[in-house]
């Protein structure tokens, strides 16, 4: 088996052929057996296989694009479960973008943020308030709800407002570190939730615990986006942009100063890194991704209420980052996908299955044990297990390493023409 | 406005003291662990919650066998407190052994993450057991002390309203006081207490002085968790209803209290707890009066967190703590 794997590792053609067989088999089975969640998951799994293949990054992203844009929607669209598959994929996309945002704050800059979902809430409420007639309560001009066309503007606006809140949170953070920072952000998240929960008086801004319902769906070229399959493409485009931006940031000057701050704040400062600017930037950028996804979430659910923004959500996103690997972009994507699918598909499926079993009288599982309720247990367990045994996550972050031998050889190659000349000089 | 605030003051003080005493004892647990390990034991709130559930379970069991009617309430109380604190103390020791000890050398971020994981695990575990037994995870604690006392504050001065309190108020205060004094004596007067202080100063040097650091840390967790568990019983007795999710926010507020008083400082934690409790009750009773109905009592948590954030920003060493500078 090992021999086979190592041979496969060297052989690009065999990899591609096997991969295509796998993709065709899974998408074919998804097309034929519509109810099978397994086929759907296996098709998504092909993206992970793709990641491990030894192809150029460009080719990989091209293939991934084809699978996500054409193959997955097409093979899922052949039956009645289409919209539910697309719903799951959309949510996976939303959570991936958020986890990537948190990854900048926690993974790259090393600032533990336990109130991250607050920015998500800020984004969701920004769109929710203006896309229902709630805004008429406090805005003296304009007619509300705004039309669906404004959604595209609000994606940017949500980004900016969340970034502003990120900076606001960042200001106290500049003075506290480590555990204290985690507690401050946790308090901040709770404050935001309580405020949104109670901001229905004296002026009704958020409609309190009742939440905002019938948010205007976004529209483009006169088409209203109401189905998950339509949101899927919106999320896909934004996700591609987010991944591109995150990648660029990671290897930029800012990204390197984030990592330096994470490793040792004082040493980083001594090397001339502007601590305030670096930390605030991490918070602002991380928050802006979350705010953007909040806007999309509000538009997709057409309903916003404070229960979607609890501490559990913040921890869920943290679990995604830690499970995947702090600071590793592919890892975080994997972590977010695994956790979201576990939450939305696997646990609910298992619950249904158990319910079916106890209905048929095969075994009886008490209601208290139903897997859909076990989220906290599972997340808690995952956090502990990963912290204890695999703190680098499923796909650890790759630090660019240099092979000393290779570097020397390279250097010698450059110097070689010079040395004989020098020797000649000596001989003369 | 002022008249109203002063009128309600006696009741606010009584309620605030009760809550403050609860915060203070939980804060002791945070402060002890932090003082020695510099670790925020996030799961401490959950230990408190487990204590509330264990105590309630014992009380329900005792009611079932008719113990409550046969024995005086004080005996039952002491018995329940003892059993619960031993159980939660062992729980705390176990948590330290499993989740914190292997990570003592690694970064703080990782230990904090295991602590959060532990607290989630405990919440769901307790929820699971209660729901399995009860069908519902919100539980009512049987009343051990019934009866109400009214304080005729109005006879003292006509500007006060009368206040009433449950007998459990006195129980909470007395037990809390005993626990705090006991802890103070233990830490300052006994050999083990001295070992704890030595480890808090410098674990490496302490281990050279033939102190078993692991044992001391285990003991710290045992005592801190036992205090937390006992507080849980008091909480359940006084407030009557408990659910598996009470621990987190309460723990957070107790942590606020510990920070307010200066984390790592036992007296500071007591003072911070009482102050926070009274402040919070004051906010709950008077926020809507002060702000003219703009902000209601539901903002009292915001109030507590705002205090936390302000203290951390402007005086992170707390009221009684010493400032430390970080070295590379």
Mean pLDDT over B114-119 rounds to 88
Q: What angle do CA A242, A379, B307 make, to 5 degrees?
A: 80
Q: Rounded CA gap, B148 and B163, in Å?
A: 10
Q: Is A266 in Cβ contact with B255 (below 8 Å)?
A: no
Residues within 8 A of A (CB atoms), B 242-271 only: 248-249, 252, 255, 259
Cα distances (angstroms) measured from residue B183 to each of A10, B28, B166, B281? 66, 9, 26, 27
- Residue B315 clears pLDDT 90, i.e. is over it: no
ipTM for the whole complex = 0.84
Q: What is the DSSP letter of B51?
A: H
Q: What is the DSSP letter of B151?
A: E
Q: Where does the pLDDT of residue A425 fall: very low under 50, low under 70, confident under 90, or very high at 90 and above?
A: low
Closest-CA residue of A relative to B293 is A202
Look up the pTM and report it. Answer: 0.84
Q: Rounded CA gap, B141 and B63, in Å?
A: 11
Contacts 24+ apart (CB under 8 A), B321-327: B321/B261, B321/B262, B321/B263, B321/B264, B321/B265, B321/B268, B322/B262, B326/A266
Say if CB A377 and CB B120 are below 8 A apart.
yes
- Residue A214 clears pLDDT 80, i.e. is over it: no
Q: What is the pLDDT, as a whole number, of residue A370?
A: 74
3-state secondary structure of B223: helix
Q: Where does the pLDDT of residue A35 fall: very low under 50, low under 70, confident under 90, or very high at 90 and above?
A: low
Q: What is the pLDDT, as a whole number, of residue B225?
A: 92
Mean pLDDT over B267-293 rounds to 82
Q: What is the tens place of the pLDDT at every residue in B198-243? A: 888 888 888 898 888 899 999 999 999 999 999 999 899 888 888 8
Q: Is B40 in Cβ contact with A179 (below 8 Å)?
A: yes
Say if CB A155 and CB A238 are below 8 A apart.
yes
Closest-CA residue of A relative to B115 is A384
Q: What is the pLDDT, as a whole number, of residue B222?
A: 93
Say if CB B264 and CB B311 are below 8 A apart.
no
Top mean-pLDDT range of A327-336, B260-269, B297-306:
A327-336
Mean pLDDT over B7-23 rounds to 85
- Residue B89 clears pLDDT 90, i.e. is over it: yes
Q: Where does the pLDDT of residue B244 fall: very low under 50, low under 70, confident under 90, or very high at 90 and above?
A: confident
Q: What is the pLDDT, as a whole number, of residue A34?
A: 62
Residues within 8 A of A (CB atoms), B 190-249 only: 248-249
Among B40, B45, B115, B120, the residue to mutate for chain A (most A Cβ within 10 A): B120
Q: What is the mean pLDDT of chain A?
A: 80
φ/ψ of A220, rounded to 5, equals: -140, 135
Task: Please enumerate in sequence order all residues whose Cβ is within 8 A of that of B91, keeping only pairs 6 or more positions apart, or say none.
Answer: B47, B50, B225, B229
Report the helix count and the strand count for chain B, using DSSP H and E: 13, 4
Say if CB B305 and CB A187 are below 8 A apart.
yes
Q: What is the pLDDT, as a whole number, of residue B323?
A: 58
Q: Where does the pLDDT of residue B87 fall: very low under 50, low under 70, confident under 90, or very high at 90 and above?
A: very high
Q: What is the tens place of the pLDDT at every residue in B16-50? A: 888 898 898 888 888 888 888 878 888 899 999 99
Top mean-pLDDT range of A218-222, A393-397, B224-228:
B224-228
CA distance B310 to chain A (A): 8
Q: Where does the pLDDT of residue A416 fall: very low under 50, low under 70, confident under 90, or very high at 90 and above?
A: low
Q: Rounded CA gap, B117 and A381, in Å?
A: 6
Q: What is the pLDDT, as a whole number, of residue B327?
A: 44
Cα distances (angstroms) measured from residue A363 to each of A360, A367, B259? 8, 12, 50
Mean pLDDT over A69-80 rounds to 73
Q: What is the DSSP letter of B142?
A: P
- Residue B328 clears pLDDT 50, i.e. is over it: no
Q: What is the pLDDT, as a whole number, of residue A169?
A: 81
Element spanning B205, H or E: helix B203-208
Mean pLDDT over B87-109 rounds to 88
Q: What is the pLDDT, as a whole number, of residue B93?
A: 92
- Residue A89 clears pLDDT 70, i.e. is over it: yes
Cα distances (angstroms) measured from residue A31 to each of A22, A43, A69, A226, A228? 14, 11, 16, 24, 19
- Residue A402 clears pLDDT 50, i.e. is over it: yes
CA distance B302 to chain A (A): 5
CA distance A296 to chain B (A): 28
Helix axes B213-239, B167-189, angle to 10 degrees: 170
Specify burial of residue B210 (Cβ count, 10 A radius: 0-12, 13-18, 19+).
exposed
Q: Rounded CA gap, B316 and B34, in Å?
A: 14
Mean pLDDT over B130-135 rounds to 81
Q: What is the pLDDT, as a whole number, of residue B261?
A: 84
For chain A, say whether B116 makes contact (Cβ under 8 Å). Answer: yes
Mean pLDDT over A163-174 rounds to 82
Of B108 and B209, more confident:
B209
Q: What is the DSSP letter of B96?
A: I
Q: Rounded CA gap, B233 and B285, in Å?
A: 26
Q: What is the pLDDT, as a whole number, of residue B85?
A: 92
For chain B, say whether A260 makes contact (Cβ under 8 Å). Answer: no
Q: Rounded CA gap, A301 and A307, in Å?
A: 13
Q: What is the mean pLDDT of chain B?
A: 84
Q: Rounded CA gap, A2 and A194, in Å?
A: 55
Say if CB A353 and CB A417 are below 8 A apart.
no
CA distance B131 to chain A (A): 6
- Residue A18 clears pLDDT 70, i.e. is over it: yes
Q: What is the pLDDT, as a whole number, of residue B82?
A: 92
Q: What is the pLDDT, as a whole number, of residue B229?
A: 92
Q: What is the pLDDT, as a whole number, of residue A395?
A: 79
Q: Which residue has the tokens 């460009």?
A: A58
For chain A, say whether B40 makes contact (Cβ under 8 Å). Answer: yes
Q: What is the pLDDT, as a whole number, of residue B91?
A: 93
């Amino acid at each position: 088996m090992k021999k086979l794997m190592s041979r496969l590792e060297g052989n690009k053609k065999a990899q591609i052929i096997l991969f295509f067989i796998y993709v065709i088999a899974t998408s074919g089975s998804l097309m034929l057996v519509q109810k099978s969640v397994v086929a759907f998951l296996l098709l998504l799994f092909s993206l992970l296989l793709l990641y491990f293949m030894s192809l150029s990054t460009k080719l990989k992203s091209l293939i991934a694009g084809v699978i996500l844009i054409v193959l997955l929607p097409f093979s899922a669209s052949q039956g009645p479960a289409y919209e539910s598959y697309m719903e799951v994929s959309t949510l996976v996309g939303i959570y991936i973008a958020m986890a990537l945002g948190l990854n900048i704050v926690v993974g790259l800059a090393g600032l533990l943020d336990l109130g991250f979902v607050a920015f998500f809430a800020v984004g969701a409420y920004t769109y929710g308030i203006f896309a229902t007639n709630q805004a008429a309560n406090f805005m003296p001009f304009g007619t509300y709800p705004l039309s669906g066309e404004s959604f595209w503007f609000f994606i940017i606006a949500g980004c900016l407002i969340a970034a502003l809140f990120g900076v606001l949170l960042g200001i106290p953070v500049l003075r506290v570190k480590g555990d204290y920072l985690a507690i401050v952000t946790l308090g901040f998240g709770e404050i935001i939730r309580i405020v949104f929960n109670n901001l229905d008086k004296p002026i009704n801004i958020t409609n309190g615990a009742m939440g905002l319902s019938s948010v205007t769906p976004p529209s483009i070229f006169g088409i209203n986006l109401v189905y998950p399959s339509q949101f899927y493409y919106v999320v896909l485009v934004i996700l591609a942009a987010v991944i591109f931006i995150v990648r660029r940031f990671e290897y930029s000057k800012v990204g390197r100063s984030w990592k330096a701050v994470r490793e040792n704040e004082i040493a980083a400062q001594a090397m001339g890194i502007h601590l305030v600017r670096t930390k605030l930037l991490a918070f602002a950028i991380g928050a802006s991704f979350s705010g953007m996804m909040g806007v999309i979430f509000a538009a997709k659910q057409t309903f916003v209420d404070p229960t979607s923004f609890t501490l559990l959500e913040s921890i869920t996103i943290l679990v995604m980052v830690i499970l995947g690997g702090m600071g590793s972009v592919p890892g975080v994507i994997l972590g977010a996908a695994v956790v979201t699918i576990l939450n939305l598909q696997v646990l609910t499926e298992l619950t249904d299955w158990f319910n079916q079993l106890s209905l048929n009288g095969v075994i009886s599982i008490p209601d208290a044990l139903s897997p859909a309720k076990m989220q906290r247990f599972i997340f808690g367990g995952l956090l502990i297990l990963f912290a204890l045994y695999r703190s680098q996550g499923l796909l650890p972050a790759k630090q660019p390493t240099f092979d000393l031998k290779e570097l020397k050889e390279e250097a010698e190659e450059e110097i070689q023409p010079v040395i004989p000349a020098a020797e000649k000089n000596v001989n003369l | 406005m002022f008249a109203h605030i002063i009128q309600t003051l006696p009741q606010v003080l009584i309620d605030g003291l009760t809550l403050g005493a609860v915060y203070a004892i939980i804060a002791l647990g945070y402060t002890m662990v932090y003082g020695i390990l510099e670790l925020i034991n996030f799961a401490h709130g959950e230990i408190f919650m487990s204590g509330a559930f264990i105590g309630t379970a014992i009380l329900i069991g005792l009611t079932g066998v008719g113990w409550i009617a046969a024995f005086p309430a004080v005996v039952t109380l002491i018995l329940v407190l003892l059993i619960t604190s031993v159980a939660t103390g062992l729980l705390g020791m176990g948590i330290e052994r499993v989740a914190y000890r292997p990570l003592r050398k690694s970064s703080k971020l990782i230990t904090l993450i295991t602590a959060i994981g532990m607290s989630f695990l405990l919440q769901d575990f307790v929820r699971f057991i209660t729901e399995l037994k009860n069908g519902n995870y919100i539980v009512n604690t049987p009343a051990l002390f019934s009866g109400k006392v009214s304080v005729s504050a109005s006879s003292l001065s006509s500007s006060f309203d009368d206040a009433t309190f449950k007998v459990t108020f006195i129980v909470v205060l007395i037990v809390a006081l005993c626990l705090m004094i006991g802890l103070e004596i233990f830490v300052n007067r006994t050999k083990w207490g001295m070992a704890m202080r030595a480890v808090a100063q410098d674990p490496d040097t302490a281990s050279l002085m033939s102190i078993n650091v692991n044992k001391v840390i285990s003991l710290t967790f045992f005592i801190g968790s036992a205090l937390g568990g006992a507080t849980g019983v008091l909480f359940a007795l006084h407030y009557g209803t408990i659910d598996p999710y009470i621990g987190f926010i309460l723990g957070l507020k107790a942590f606020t209290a510990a920070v307010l008083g200066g984390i790592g400082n036992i007296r500071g934690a007591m003072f911070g707890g009482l102050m926070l409790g009274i402040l919070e009750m004051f906010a709950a009773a008077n926020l809507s009066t002060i702000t003219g109905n703009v902000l209601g009592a539901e903002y009292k948590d915001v109030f507590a967190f705002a205090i936390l954030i302000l203290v951390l920003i402007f005086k992170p060493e707390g009221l009684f703590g010493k400032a430390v500078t970080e070295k590379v």
